[in-house]
Structure 1
């Protein structure tokens, strides 16, 4: 990324992380439950790219809104994303011992606490929006509807179900993979774009345009993840690599080959960037979109 855009990304990430800290604290009412709060904070503070909350903030800005209008939604979607990662790492799911270079939540604490921490984050996300002092009730309801849809059986959770089912099949097609990725990865990314627009009061036509961008970006993002599982290292990624191959999973790399997978990710990224150029002031997000295609982790 260009230096000024990298600095802007760092600024937005700092705002999000400050917002997360403010919205998840051990208060007197949960003093006796502080172990699960600590597990929630541990996973939220583990780092990561914060792409989803940054998308919320940036689309709000592109639609003429202010950071304060979008911060609750930005924090909420990062809580949902973190909940999904905690549960993905569990022995019943992907059984990964490391996440972002640190022990997974169920390794740092225990399996039961990790399950409950994920559950609690999924609920806290909606509480954060409900208690937002900035937005009016109608907007809060709309934001919660978007978040629920992105998280539901039709969204991220449903995508995880498909992912587990496909592990036992040897007839998974590209259409199957695209449907799974559109739900497991794409739903939250699309939701982030929509949340930012709605927080700013954008018309439905603009929300739909942002949604199309998010769909392209989400699929490209997952294809790059599949590529990195083959080409990167555990030290760089902060999580085990090669697990897809070991489990015999069908991925875009196993289905298309490495080069065709790269071409597909590049095509989707270009299409996402073309949609983005319909927004005034899109330069930062355009640079970020390109950097996600070429990322190393």
Structure 2
């Protein structure tokens, strides 16, 4: 007989809470002490029906995340970091992960390969006619994913083989130029406020009137710097989006992945074909 206190349907959020609590109850029955060995974790997962491959992947991801650096410095805390990093442990080999990254960046971001070595790829921002052409053609197709790494100066990828069948993929985007622009704009507004207050002081203005330009400049400068944080969040979304693609494509053999693109002519014809064929599946 069904327990009336148990709901008939369980949504995703409730499912995550239930599974987490069930895992805590299961782990409480074992003497963990200072920690568990990987084999103990696999054995514990086997008791609750979690496949070993998922546990290994989760352990590798947890180890990789523990090495992320926290923001440091006043500028990082008040404005935002100059670099954004996302990591993922994917099933598959190094070659498949690299080809998937190259394919994604070429098709979905305004980036071009700057340097490619085994295990390391660097992209730089696309410029000139090719970038303008792709921006214009992307507006013709509302269903197509938009470019979200367009504010990054450089994007670096590191693909490291782990144990058999897994690879660690790290993506880092540099936002140094974008942050410098926001800090420069904020400093300009603050400096203008100081100059304005100096002029008013020279004219023997009342003190609260003389301080008004400084206060206004500081306030406007703060507003300008706060606009950088959404760029950081959007860049992180772009990195995670690329890793989502790699996670699904890295398990494919190399001959199943799309070939690398060619030059500007092929780019223009390909974009026009996609934009003018709305019924064509993506």
TM-score higher than 0.5 here? no
* Larger Rg computed on CA atoms: 2
Structure with the bigger RCO (C-alpha within 8 Å, sep 6+) is: 2
- TM-score tier by shorter-chain length is under 0.3
**TM-score, with normalisation over the residues of structure 1?**
0.24
**TM-score, with normalisation over the residues of structure 2?**
0.25
More helix by share: 1
